[in-house]
Amino acid sequence: MLWVLPGCGGEDSVQFFQPVTQDSSFPGTAGEPASYASLLAYQPDPACAPNVPRKLDRKTEIRIFRGYGIDLETTSRFVSGLKRYYDYYGVEVFTRHDVIQVPLDHAMVLNSAAISDWMRNNTSQDPSCASTTYSPTAACEQAMGSAMFYNVKQFFHVYAEPAQNVINVVLLKRVAALQPDQSEEETAWGVAGLGLSQELLDSVSGSDLGVSLADILDETNFSPTIFLGVNLIDFVLSEPDMVIAHEFGHAYGLEHLQSDETNLMYPVVNKCNQSLNQSQLTTIEKATAKYGNTLRTTHDDPLAFLSFEDRAAEIFDIVRKRIGQEAQP
Whether 218 has a pLDDT exceeding 50, the answer reads yes
Helices (H), the chain: 72-87, 112-122, 138-148, 150-155, 198-203, 213-217, 230-236, 241-251, 278-288, 308-327
The whole-number pLDDT of residue 292 equals 54
Mean pLDDT (whole number) for 160-164 = 94
Q: In whole angstroms, how far apart are CA 83 and each of 41, 49, 118, 147, 176?
A: 8, 13, 39, 33, 25
Q: Is 81 part of a structural domain of the chain?
A: yes
Give 139 or 322, the one with higher predicted confidence: 139
Identity at 119, one-letter amino acid code: M
The pLDDT tens digits of the residues spanning 5-22 come to 433 444 445 689 999 999
Mean pLDDT (whole number) for 144-160 = 95
Q: Is 17 part of a structural domain of the chain?
A: no
The whole-number pLDDT of residue 176 equals 84
What residues make up the domain containing 171?
2-11+31-111+148-201+222-319
Q: Are 107 and 16 in contact (CB under 8 A)?
A: no
The whole-number pLDDT of residue 306 equals 41
Q: Is 75 part of a structural domain of the chain?
A: yes
Q: Within 10 A of 57 (CB to CB), how many other CB atoms are there?
A: 12
In terms of Cα–Cα distance, which of 61, 86, 19 is closest to 244? Answer: 86
Q: Are 59 and 91 in contact (CB under 8 A)?
A: yes
Q: Is 45 part of a structural domain of the chain?
A: yes
- DSSP single-letter state for residue 275: B
CA dihedral 167, 22, 28, 95 (to 10 degrees): -30
In terms of Cα–Cα distance, which of 297, 167, 276 is closest to 227? Answer: 167
What CATH number is attached to the domain comprising 166? 3.40.390.10
| SS3 state of residue 311 | helix
Is the peptide bond between 44 and the residue preceding it cis, with omega within 30 degrees of 0?
no
The whole-number pLDDT of residue 13 equals 58
- Please report which confidence band the pLDDT of residue 184 belongs to, taking 50, 70 and 90 as the band edges: very low
In terms of Cα–Cα distance, which of 85, 264, 97 is closest to 168? Answer: 97
Whether 27 has a pLDDT exceeding 70, the answer reads yes
Q: Is 121 part of a structural domain of the chain?
A: no
Q: Is 287 part of a structural domain of the chain?
A: yes
Give 293 or 154, the one with higher predicted confidence: 154
Q: Is 158 part of a structural domain of the chain?
A: yes
Question: Angle between the 138-148 and 112-122 helix axes, to the nearest 10 degrees?
Answer: 110
Q: Is 64 part of a structural domain of the chain?
A: yes
- Please report which confidence band the pLDDT of residue 202 belongs to, taking 50, 70 and 90 as the band edges: confident
Mean of pLDDT over the chain: 82
Is the peptide bond between 162 and the residue preceding it cis, with omega within 30 degrees of 0?
yes
d(CA 33, CA 111): 41
The whole-number pLDDT of residue 75 equals 97
Whether 175 has a pLDDT exceeding 90, the answer reads no
d(CA 164, CA 167): 8
Q: In whole angstroms, how far apart are CA 87 and each of 27, 91, 94, 255?
A: 27, 5, 11, 21
Q: Does an H or E element contain 228, and which?
A: strand 225-229
How many separate domains does the chain show? 1
